[in-house]
Amino acid sequence: MKLNIALLAGDGIGPEVIDQAVKVCDAVAKKFNHDLNWRPALTGASAIDAVGDPYPDETHNICATSDAVLFGAIGHPKYDNDPSAKVRPEQGLLRMRQKLGLFANVRPTFTFPSLIDKSPLKRERIEGTDLVFLRELTGGIYFGKRGRKDNGDTAYDTCTYTRKEIQRLAKKGFEMAEKRSKRLCCVDKANVLESSRLWRETVQAMEKDYPEVKVSYEFVDAVAMRLVQWPSEYDVLITENLFGDILTDEASVISGSMGLMPSASIGENISLYEPIHGSYPQAAGKDIANPLATVLSAAMLFDGFNLSEEAEAIRKVVNESLSEGIVTEDLAEGGKSYKTSEVGDWLASHI
């Protein structure tokens, strides 16, 4: 298969972790006889520095005309520490999601057998966890009307959802549940929020189209608690943007390190694959960041084209590297650790 892949390395550790994913993907392409055409483009703070825009038109054109996007991370302390900055790296991320129509963020949460004791949670609680969140990505409070009034002393943000937006996300959730253990949990706050009541009503109306899927409805505060108490009780969870943002970071604790968890953002025409972590600026340029979240995001990219053998080859070699202790310092616990680039080389050579 020939794939054109837009490569948005971004800021901080982005370029370093992306380099390792490219090495691994190229090794997979060689082994399985695919042709990968990488198309690098600017984004984030580095794009602001270069052309004054965190998501330049040229980058959008490259993304929109590719088969998929592999994304590193964006963000720089000079913007984090300056809330008054008019142009910001995150604006690029939000604009990219909107312009590419990336409406569903898919975040699998699972445990790695060799790392289970590194999780801050007890083994018996998390063993066997294999759940996936589908977070709505282009609606809700992050995109609603906001502002200040009363001379700046009152601030407001509004959460708006349309039935269509909910159906589009829920459809993906039902389809995913059908392929997995046929359990779907709709996470909302329907006892308080009108937008949540529309979520619940919409998903309830869709149940009849997926008779094999058993749907539960839970309040977000209860899920926040049960997620770390009994994560294996969940399979597919669907939720709106803000709740999903918070719950998916909470879920990442189950697997033990931010450096491990991949994600995909699905659109109607194109999907984007990215680690869940940010640009970890303290580690930028040091060759110490864990590249596995990005490498596993690349595995999801192959899954996206139904190349499941290729995706499995990546997951297998990642698990092997973990069992053999070929790990970056975040997982080494004071023992021997490897550089980001060494882990990438090891993975590529073992594909």
Token pair for 102: 């990336």
Q: Is 261 in the site for ligand NAD (CB under 6 A)?
A: no
Instruction: State which of positions 10-39 bind ligand NAD (CB under 6 A).
Output: 13, 17
Catalytic residue among 26, 80, 130, 245: 245
Whole-angstrom CA distances from 213 to 181, 206, 234 are 8, 11, 13
CB 20 within 8 A of CB 340: yes
Distance in Å, CB of 343 to ligand NAD, minimum: 10
User: Could you give the CA distance from residue 323 to residue 210 in angstroms, rounded to a whole number?
Assistant: 39
Among 202, 290, 321, 337, binds ligand NAD (CB under 6 A): 290
DSSP assignment letter at 333 = T
Our answer to whether residue 82 is catalytic in this structure is no
Our answer to whether residue 142 is catalytic in this structure is yes
Catalytic residue among 79, 142, 273, 338: 142
Our answer to whether residue 49 is catalytic in this structure is no
Task: List CB contacts of 342: < 8 A, sequence separation 6 or more.
Answer: 326
Distance in Å, CB of 232 to ligand NAD, minimum: 25
Task: Give the amino acid at 248.
Answer: T
Residue that the structure tokens 């053998």 belong to: 309
Distance in Å, CB of 252 to ligand NAD, minimum: 9
Which residue number, 137 or 293, has a Cβ lying nearer to ligand NAD? 293
Task: List CB contacts of 150: < 8 A, sequence separation 6 or more.
Answer: none
Instruction: State which of positions 313-342 bind ligand NAD (CB under 6 A).
Output: 330
Which residue number, 140 or 166, has a Cβ lying nearer to ligand NAD? 140
Antiparallel, parallel or unpaired: β 183-188 and 214-219? parallel
Our answer to whether residue 11 is catalytic in this structure is no
CB 77 within 8 A of CB 85: no
DSSP assignment letter at 151 = T
Task: Give the amino acid at 48.
Answer: I
Site string for ligand NAD, 69-88 (x = CB under 6 A): ----xxxx---x--------
Query: Which of the ranges 68-76, 144-152, 196-204, 240-248 carries the binding residues for ligand NAD, by CB under 6 A?
Result: 68-76
Residue 134 dihedral angles phi and psi, to the nearest 5°: -115, 110
Task: List CB contacts of 164: < 8 A, sequence separation 6 or more.
Answer: none
Which residue number, 267 or 281, has a Cβ lying nearer to ligand NAD? 281
Q: Is 250 in the site for ligand NAD (CB under 6 A)?
A: no
Our answer to whether residue 117 is catalytic in this structure is no
Which residue number, 108 or 281, has a Cβ lying nearer to ligand NAD? 281
Element (H, E) at 244: helix 241-255
Which residue number, 79 or 234, has a Cβ lying nearer to ligand NAD? 79
Catalytic residue among 19, 189, 210, 303: 189
Element (H, E) at 311: helix 308-323
Q: Is 264 in the site for ligand NAD (CB under 6 A)?
A: no
Q: Is 279 in the site for ligand NAD (CB under 6 A)?
A: yes
Q: Is 259 in the site for ligand NAD (CB under 6 A)?
A: yes
Which residue number, 14 or 139, has a Cβ lying nearer to ligand NAD? 14
Which residue number, 136 or 218, has a Cβ lying nearer to ligand NAD? 136
| Burial grade of 26 (CB within 10 A; 0-12, 13-18, 19 or more) | middle
Helix ranges, 273-307 (H): 292-304
Residues designated catalytic: 142, 189, 221, 245, 249
Which residues form the interface with ligand NAD (CB under 6 A)?
A: 13, 17, 73-76, 80, 90, 258-259, 277-281, 289-290, 293, 330
